């Protein structure tokens, strides 16, 4: 929980519970309503998560992001990174195949820069 206020930790637990309850049925192929659960996870769950974790609306007190910590921050950073990297990767891949030399060279340079940098130094 990090330094998340003790009285408001139920919100973090509710976010975890909602995510697990929506994600676990998606693991089973013959589960009815999988399409609706997937839409819920993509469209509704992020909004509910944002409202619950930050507060400031629906009578929930506001909790600063500086108070977040632990698993919560790890999951938020991971999800944001994964969601942001897919469109960026697609744009860079398309730019690498572009006929415009400036775009192609920029994309190739950016890709090769990150390929050449060691991840752990």
List, in sequence order, every beta strand (DSSP E) within the chain. none
Q: How confident is the model at residue 69, as a pLDDT?
A: 85
Cα separation, 19 vs 21, whole angstroms: 6
Smallest CA-to-CA distance from 8 within 61, 72, 76, 82 is with 61
Tokens of 40: 């819920």
Residues of the chain with pLDDT under 70: 121
Which residue bears the tokens 């309503």? 33
Per-residue three-class SS string for 74-88: HHHHHHHHHHHHHHH
Segment 20-30, tens digit of pLDDT: 999 999 998 88
Residue 63's CB: how many other CB atoms inside 10 A?
20
Smallest CA-to-CA distance from 13 within 80, 77, 25, 21 is with 21
Q: How confident is the model at residue 104, as a pLDDT?
A: 96
**Stated pTM of the model:** 0.69
Q: How confident is the model at residue 66, as a pLDDT?
A: 86
Segment 48-58, tens digit of pLDDT: 999 998 888 88
């Amino acid at each position: 929980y990090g330094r998340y206020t003790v009285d408001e930790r139920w919100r973090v637990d509710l976010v975890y519970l909602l995510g697990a309850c929506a994600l676990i049925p998606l693991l089973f192929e013959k589960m009815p309503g999988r399409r609706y659960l997937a839409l819920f996870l993509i469209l509704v769950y992020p909004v509910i998560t944002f409202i619950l974790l930050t507060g400031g609306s629906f009578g929930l007190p506001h909790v600063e992001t500086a108070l977040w910590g632990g698993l919560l921050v790890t999951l938020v950073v991971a999800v944001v990174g994964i969601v942001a990297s897919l469109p960026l990767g697609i744009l860079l891949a398309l730019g690498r195949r572009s006929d415009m030399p400036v775009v192609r060279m920029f994309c190739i340079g950016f890709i090769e820069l990150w390929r050449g940098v060691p991840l752990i130094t």
